[in-house]
Each structure stands twice: as C-alpha cells, then as structure tokens.
Amino acid sequence: MEEDIFAFEYSSKTLGQQLRDIAARFPDNDAVVYVDRDFRQTWREFDKSVDDMAKGLMALGVKKGEKVAIWATNVPHWVTLMFAVARIGGIYLTINTNYRDHELDFVLKQSDMENLFLIDGYRDHDYIDTLCRLIPEIRTLPRGQLRNSTYPHFRRALFLGAEKHRGFYSMPELIGMGEAMISDEEYAARQASIDCQDVVMMQYTSGTTGFPKGVMLTHANLINNGSSVAKRQAFTEKDRICLPVPMFHCFGCSLGVMASVSSGAAMVILESFKALHVMASIDQEKCTAMYGVPTMFLNVLEHKMFRHFDYSTMRTGIMAGSVCPEPVMRRVADEMNMTGITSVYGLTESSPGMTQTHCYVDSLDRRVTTVGRRFPGVDVQVLDPETGEICPRGVAGEVCCKGHNVMKGYYKLPEETAAALKGGWLHSGDLGVMDEEGYVTITGRIKDLIIRGGENISPKEVEEFLYSLEGVEDVQVVGVPSRKYGEEVGAFIIPKKGYENMAPEDVKDFCRGQISWYKIPRFVAIVKEFPLTASGKIQKYRLRELAAEMFPEAMQ
C-alpha cells in the first residue's frame, strides 16, 4: 500500500479549470447542499453560478491580482465567490467572522484590500455598521467613486444578498451587470491569462509577532493539497461531506471544499456550527464524512438528541484544528460509525496539510495516536531547533516541510517570510517525533501560540491590547489547558500603583466588543510579580504551569 499512499501526480490546473473538469464529469450530481435553507445545486448549476458571478466582478472593474475579501459565515454564495474570484485571476481574502473594528481596520490597511463582500453580521455584531464607521464615505460618495485616505486602495463594498444598502452593490446587480457588459470572449481571455502559480487566496493567521500575517496561497497549493486530502479519505463522487467548519479557515475552504472539487464529493454545508443541524444534515443527506475540531464532535456526541439520528452511512472524516483527544476520536469511530476517521496536521502556511492518516490503510490506533505520514510530493522532516539538522527517527525536534504545499509568502512581510522559510524549510514551530515508518506525533510547541478550539491566538496581540487598559502595569498572556477547547486564554496582570483593586471582570468587560470574543481572556489573575529567570526574563512556561494549577475548572 506504500506505493498507493505516496504516488503523486502534480496538477498544474487552476481552481477554475478543476471545477470545470469536475462539473463536466458529474454534471447532475449534487455539488452544494444546505439542509437548513433547502438549497441545492448540482455541479452543472454551481459551475454556471460561478461564471455568472465572475462576469459580474469583471463588469465592476475587478482586475487580475485584486483582492476580493469576504466577511461572512458559510452562506451559499461563499464557495461560489471563491471560485468566481479564482476564475478572473483575483485573490480571495478570507476574514474571520469574529473580527471586530480593531482587527478589521488592521486587515483593511495591511492587505491593500480593494473589494469587500459582507453579510449583515454575525451574533451581536453588525458588519455593515462596522465597515461604515471605518469608511463613512461608503454612505456618501457615489458607487464607483469611493475614496478614503486611511484605506487608499479600497474601492467597492458589496452585500452578499438581494437586499439594497446605501453605498453597497447587491448580488442581483452584480449578476445583471455581468450579463449585460461582459462577453464570452472577454471572459475566456481573462481565464486564459491565469497560471497555477498565481496567488489565489490570502488568509490571515496569528503568529507570535503580534498582529496576523497574510498567508499567500496559490492555485497549485490548494489543488494539490485538496487532492491529497481526498485520496487519504478515499473520496469519490458518491461521498457526501458534512462541513460545519468555518470556510474562512483552511480547514473549511482547502481541506473541505478543495477535497470535494478534487473528487466530486458533495458539500453539505452549514452556515455555522449547531450540533442539532449537524446531526440532521448527516441523517437527511446520508453523509459519509464529517469535518470538525474536537469540540464540535464532543458537542454532537453529548447532545441530548444524539440517539435520535442515523449515522449508518458515515465512514470517514477529519478531526483536526487543535489537539485531538484519543478518547474522543475513539468515541467518534464507535458511536458515529466513522471507523475511518482521520487527522490532518499542518498550518495555513502549508495549505494547510503536511501529513494525514489514511482512512483504510492505517490502523485505528495509528489514526488516534498520530497525525499520519507526509502527503505525496511533500517532504516532512523533524529538525533540530538549534542546528537545523534532520533528527534521527524517534528524536524530538521541530516539524518542518518543503514541497508543493508551501505558501508563496506573507503579504508585504519579506523578513517574516524569510524567517518562516529558513533553510528552505517551512518551520511549523511545533515539536514532534517521527517513527521508523514515517508517522508523526506532535508533542508540544516551540512557538508561543494559543490554539483554542481551532482558532490560533497570538498572546502578544492580546497583551498589546490589554496594555491599553488604564491601570495595567504589565501583562502576560498564556494558554490554560482546557478539556473542551484544548486551551483557553489566560492573562496574568500586574496593576499600576493605585489600581490594586482591579478585578478580573474589569479586564473582561474592557475587552468585550473591542476584540474577537475568543481572544478575550476567560481566566484572569491579578498578581504582584511574574516568575523570572536569574537574568530577569519572564518564565512563560512557569506561568502556563501556574495557570493550570490556578484554574483547574478549565479541565472539568
């Protein structure tokens, strides 16, 4: 089976070409399904919707290489827009649905974004009001003449729906403009100008240096990674993948959408995660696979209605995004009939997969205790963090990779790009061990990063924000071990003189509405000092130990 697992045929197609090929092979099969919206498209219908939207973008004046951002939950237009942008040579910029003013302002500036599609909002957050606070000219200047000195590249705001909002283009307008203004010849010429090495997607990922960095991924990155993911789960056009994971992450749009478009498997998409909707979708659509972070699977397994739904059609799927507890994976295999459950390891910079277990080839023990073996066409090694030399098998080091999955770089950050790709390897910042057969086990992290239920959180970014709270002398943010989320955000704060009565709730109240909810420290300790080394450096590892001791309720 070794030869089957690692056999590799590199694809030089673009996303638009890959979709066209699958639509030609399985025109009448389901492509996109939303159970809760009673929305269903075949591959032929989906392909046509992509063309209609792509022509609309051209009619608006979107040029090759322009960023087209989306700030939305997994609404039906989300995947359509992804491929429409790809077909005209644009760059799809995905924005976290939990972002607030502070974070959107940063991305608008750093990305040089020209276009933004958005929905009304999510949870208690009004996206339209937020954007218009930052760019008030949207409401006052004629569409097509939008200019703002703070965001000089921004040109167009578009609403992902039929409703009309002052200053925004609507979807019916977009489609109508494409039909009236763009010929088939113009459209074909634009598509012919696109190369598989062109950047097609940008995703902002948190690291250890403060604010997120824009990871630039190419057509080749996404297509070859998606194909490998599909093969490790033995997907065919008869499979139906339940996708409740956010599309703005690589988990959704690469491991999910691209695996589907590589194999012809149907995408059964949920706008946002709700355990009851997941179970209903699996039952009603006879899904064969499901993707999720451990917390999602746990919420499904422990739901009071769990036994009322049928999981007999299930066979495989992916649990990833954070540390996958072995007991949860075994329960999923046993109670949800996902006997071929797999795990993927990687990061946004690797498109995102480096390794994955195989649904049939690998034993259940391998699949619940390791993150599998390298993808075909990708070299994965464990390197000594000090010397950069390859570690012997069985010796811990930093997990690194090189190959077709490695990003083009970070947008406008050449030094950070060079550091991430030092020595020709993409450095993950994670510690791991590779055994004699090539299976990788992740054992810890070098980089100072918190991963909460699949969301990467930069401690430095949260620390810099908390410094703006009046009365904070010093602050250190660390991960607190959590049974439900893997880690939660914890903050240790030394108050200034006169602010000794500062309470944990004061800190949390200050954060609410200003930064994403998942970045708000759940655990706050007001302290007099931090543990220090002999040379005066803060011992973060000791703070993490203290957090685990002080907040044991996180593991309950």
Residue 533 scores a pLDDT above 70: no
Q: Select the more confidently predicted residue: 184 or 484.
A: 184
Structure tokens at 501: 């009565």
Confidence category of residue 544, pLDDT binned at 50, 70, 90: confident
For 325-389, where are the alpha helices, taking DSSP H only?
326-335, 364-369
Residue 295's pLDDT is what? Answer: 85
Homologous superfamily (CATH) for 11-26+40-222+254-261: ANL, N-terminal domain (3.40.50.12780)
d(CA 95, CA 359): 32
Residue 401 bridge partners (DSSP): 380, 426
Among 66, 40, 59, residue whose Cα is nearest residue 144: 59
d(CA 190, CA 198): 13
Residue 27 scores a pLDDT above 80: yes
Among 470, 473, 450, 454, residue whose Cα is nearest residue 520: 450
What's the predicted TM-score (pTM) here? Answer: 0.88
In Å, what is the CA distance from 170 to each residue of 85, 119, 174, 178, 491? Answer: 16, 11, 6, 13, 43
Residue 458 scores a pLDDT above 90: no
Name the average pLDDT for the chain: 94
For 421-539, where are the alpha helices, taking DSSP H only?
459-466, 504-511
Q: What percent of the chain has pLDDT over 70?
A: 98
pLDDT (tens digit per residue) in 153-167: 999 999 998 899 999
Among 224, 228, 220, residue whose Cα is nearest residue 201: 220
Calculate helix-pair angle for 294-301, 326-335, nearest 10 degrees: 50
Grouping H, G, I as helix, E, B as strand and the rest as coil, residue 383 is strand
Region 446-460 average pLDDT? 85
pLDDT (tens digit per residue) in 298-329: 899 999 999 999 999 999 999 997 778 888 99
DSSP type of residue 514: T
Burial class of residue 468 in the structure, from the number of CB atoms within 10 Å of its CB (0-12 exposed, 13-18 middle, 19+ buried): exposed
Residue 210's pLDDT is what? Answer: 58
* CATH code, 457-555: 3.30.300.30
The residue to which tokens 């703006």 are assigned: 468
Contacts of residue 199, Cβ cutoff 8 Å, sequence gap at least 6: 65, 91, 216, 217, 218, 408
d(CA 69, CA 85): 10
User: Contact at 8 Å (CB) between 270 and 280?
Assistant: no
d(CA 373, CA 227): 15
Question: Dihedral of CA 523/529/534/537: which sign?
Answer: positive
Confidence category of residue 10, pLDDT binned at 50, 70, 90: very high
Residue 449's pLDDT is what? Answer: 83
Q: What percent of the chain has pLDDT over 90?
A: 82
Task: Give domain limits for the chain.
Answer: 11-26+40-222+254-261, 344-445, 457-555
Residue 441 φ/ψ, nearest 5 degrees: -120, 125
Residue 184: CB atoms within 10 Å = 9
Q: Do domains 11-26+40-222+254-261 and 344-445 have the same CATH topology?
A: no
User: Contact at 8 Å (CB) between 109 and 150?
Assistant: yes
Sequential DSSP letters for 30-48: EEEEETTTTEEEEHHHHHH
Confidence category of residue 447, pLDDT binned at 50, 70, 90: confident
Element (H, E) at 191: helix 184-192
Cα–chain center distance at 33: 21
Q: Which fold has domain 344-445?
A: Luciferase; domain 3 (2.30.38)
The residue to which tokens 């397994």 are assigned: 301
d(CA 244, CA 29): 21
Residue 483's pLDDT is what? Answer: 86
Residue 207: CB atoms within 10 Å = 24
pLDDT (tens digit per residue) in 73-99: 999 999 999 999 999 999 999 999 999
Sequential DSSP letters for 199-267: EEEEEEE--SSSS-EEEEEEHHHHHHHHHHHHHHTT--TT-EEEE-S-TTSHIIIIIIIIHHHHHT-EE
pLDDT (tens digit per residue) in 206-233: 754 557 899 999 999 999 999 999 999 9
Cα–chain center distance at 531: 35
Residue 446's pLDDT is what? Answer: 78
Grouping H, G, I as helix, E, B as strand and the rest as coil, residue 346 is strand
pLDDT (tens digit per residue) in 470-527: 999 889 999 998 988 989 999 999 999 999 999 999 999 999 999 999 999 999 999 9
Residue 91 φ/ψ, nearest 5 degrees: -120, 120
d(CA 491, CA 340): 39
Residue 3's pLDDT is what? Answer: 41
Region 391-400 average pLDDT? 95
Structure tokens at 338: 């996902």
Q: What radius of gyration, in Å, describes the C-alpha atoms of the chain?
A: 23
Residue 188 scores a pLDDT above 90: yes
Residue 414's pLDDT is what? Answer: 97
Among 239, 217, 201, residue whose Cα is nearest residue 353: 217
The residue to which tokens 């000092």 are assigned: 529
Region 101-114 average pLDDT? 96
User: Contact at 8 Å (CB) between 356 and 228?
Assistant: yes
DSSP type of residue 446: S
Residue 1's pLDDT is what? Answer: 41
Structure tokens at 299: 């919420």
d(CA 228, CA 224): 6
